[in-house]
Amino acid sequence: MSNPKIVPVILAGGSGTRLWPISRDSLPKQFLSLGGTRTFYQQTLLRVPAAGDSVTAPIVVTGEDFRFFARRQAAELGIDATIVLEPARRDSAAAIFTAARIAAERYGEDSLVLALAADHLVPDVELFRDALLAAAEVAAKGYIVTFGIKPTEPRTSYGYIRTGEALGVAGASRVDSFVEKPDAATAERYLAEGYLWNSGNFIFPASLMLAEAERFEPAILEGVDAAIGAAKTDLGFIRLDKSAFLTIPAKSIDYAVLERTKKAAVIEGRFAWSDIGSWDAVRELGPVAEDGNVTHGPVSLLDSRNAFVHSEGPLVTGIGLDDITIVASDDAILVMPSDRSQDVKNLVAGLKAEKRNEANEHIRIHRPWGTYETICRGDRFHVKKIVVEPGATLSLQKHHHRAEHWVVVKGTAEVTQGERTYIVNENESTYHPVGEIHRVANPGKIPLELIEVQTGSYLGEDDIVRYEDIYNRA
């Protein structure tokens, strides 16, 4: 019998408000790069070995709102992922049971599900893969294997694992117990006693997870099975059934299974790892200058030390800063003592309660066909920069209250205006009066960039009548 297949499952449904204002509900951290070249989701996809004899194509579990990010960012890497859409957030147990069931159906009960968070950082892929090989060997013997991480310092923001009996594979042991985030003194003790950080990434046989789900959380599994049974395929996405999914209790996989099963094992990963769970964690990634400052983007500090400044927009300057964290985007700034980074989620909750747009939305809005952003807003006008991806097409639409001027500044536009379809090249413009049915597509090979100047008495996004839409939004 051949070895069981490894089925990579990327859990990419998180909302990531703890890295606000860079990460927001509308575009959370797994789909961001924080200044790197690949997003965390892409880095996760590239971390697993390429699909082949022993590894299948990845399955991505994510939310409805993120479906086009998940597909586009995988496609940029040439990866054809199966994308499963959860109709609501139900924490990790539902997502992992779903993945286990789909893996079992597609690749057999024995297949090994490698469940990876889409928003963790593992800089050394080779060391991760070494751990993966050992972990798969243990999992195949009938264990749910957690990737534990040898701590480098007494962190209080991570859960820990106390290891038990060795399992005969280098670095592998049974889990004696999972322990919650400790206080500083306890963390010191854990470090001294050889506890491992619990990374929240696992590998397990699909059949074993389903059996444990049946045993400990039958209601969750039942809801998952019903949601898969009534799932629909829409533009290639697997859309789980909403009414079935909504019945599922929200529970983390730790509480649902890992802390209760007798089959928990851990592999000691010796790779560097971060859950990037707060700005403090981003700061730790460095690089650290001589004065202890860590700066990303346009920053100028005077007489400051141990400051962390991350700007993806304005120039950030500081005088006399000590252990202060500053994060800046074009429309929102966050300033706090660095030890308050766990409170960002509370701040964002407050902004949501105040119904502040900046709590959830970015200036740049993502759509299936590309992006747009407002670059200027006036009394009776509104200027946007629109980027249409190669091959993409906006809906055939009209507006009741606004006229639109389009100037193509890069690439080639195929414009439909009433009955006519024609090409608009770089440095050419077109005009759509109120009430005219129109559409733009990018027939080219590079992104199409255009400047849209809207004028009219009402300029809300909801003044749109869609006639046809290749993304099923009409």
Binding part of the chain for a copy of itself, among 59-67, 158-166, 243-251, 401-409 by CB under 8 A, reads 401-409
Q: Which of 337, 391, 435, 460: binder of a copy of itself (CB under 8 A)?
A: 337
Q: Does 424 bind a copy of itself (CB under 8 A)?
A: no
Asked if residues 234 and 84 have their Cβ atoms less than 8 Å apart, the reply is no
Q: Name which of 35 and 337 has its Cβ closer to a copy of itself.
A: 337
Distance CA 203, CA 139 (A): 6
Question: Helical H runs in 59-166?
Answer: 67-75, 91-107, 125-140
Q: Which of 139, 265, 351, 441: binder of a copy of itself (CB under 8 A)?
A: 351
Q: Does 333 bind a copy of itself (CB under 8 A)?
A: yes
| Alpha carbon separation from 444 to 391, 408, 427, 469, 470 (Å, rounded) | 7, 13, 16, 19, 17
Binding mask 250-289 for a copy of itself (x = CB under 8 A): ----------------------------------------
Q: Which of 354, 419, 461, 462: binder of a copy of itself (CB under 8 A)?
A: 354
Q: Which of 99, 238, 266, 332: binder of a copy of itself (CB under 8 A)?
A: 332
Largest Cα span, the chain:
75
Radius of gyration for the chain, computed over Cα atoms and rounded to the nearest angstrom: 25
| Alpha carbon separation from 310 to 91, 285, 295, 326 (Å, rounded) | 29, 12, 6, 6
DSSP SS3 for 197: strand
Total residues binding a copy of itself (CB under 8 A): 57
Sign of the Cα pseudo-torsion (165, 167, 172, 178, in order): negative
Distance CA 469, CA 474 (A): 5
Distance CA 188, CA 184 (A): 6
Q: Does 141 bind a copy of itself (CB under 8 A)?
A: no
Q: Does 340 bind a copy of itself (CB under 8 A)?
A: yes
Q: Which of 113, 187, 227, 328: binder of a copy of itself (CB under 8 A)?
A: 328
Q: Which of 290, 379, 461, 462: binder of a copy of itself (CB under 8 A)?
A: 379
Pairing of strands 294-296, 308-311: parallel
Helix axes 91-107, 206-216, angle to 10 degrees: 140
Q: Name which of 194 and 378 has its Cβ closer to a copy of itself.
A: 378
Asked if residues 467 and 474 have their Cβ atoms less than 8 Å apart, the reply is yes
Q: Does 324 bind a copy of itself (CB under 8 A)?
A: yes
Distance CA 92, CA 148 (A): 18
The distance of closest approach from Cβ of residue 380 to a copy of itself in the complex, given in angstroms and rounded to an integer, is 7
Q: Which of 1, 52, 302, 457: binder of a copy of itself (CB under 8 A)?
A: 302
Asked if residues 41 and 76 have their Cβ atoms less than 8 Å apart, the reply is no
Sequence-distant (≥ 6) Cβ neighbours of residue 313 within 8 angstroms:
297, 328, 329, 330, 331
Q: Which of 77, 179, 211, 407: binder of a copy of itself (CB under 8 A)?
A: 407
Q: Does 303 bind a copy of itself (CB under 8 A)?
A: yes
Q: Name which of 250 and 376 has its Cβ closer to a copy of itself.
A: 376
Q: Does 427 bind a copy of itself (CB under 8 A)?
A: yes
Dihedrals phi, psi of 3, to nearest 5 degrees:
-60, 150
Binding part of the chain for a copy of itself, among 46-54, 234-242, 280-288, 373-381 by CB under 8 A, reads 373-381
Q: Name which of 318 and 370 has its Cβ closer to a copy of itself.
A: 318
Site for a copy of itself in 432-471 (CB under 8 A): 449, 451, 453, 455
Question: Which parts of this chain interact with a copy of itself (CB under 8 A)?
Answer: 21, 300, 302-303, 311, 313-321, 324, 326, 328-337, 340, 343-344, 346-347, 350-351, 354, 356, 358, 375-376, 378-381, 383, 385, 403, 405, 407, 409-410, 426-427, 429, 431, 449, 451, 453, 455
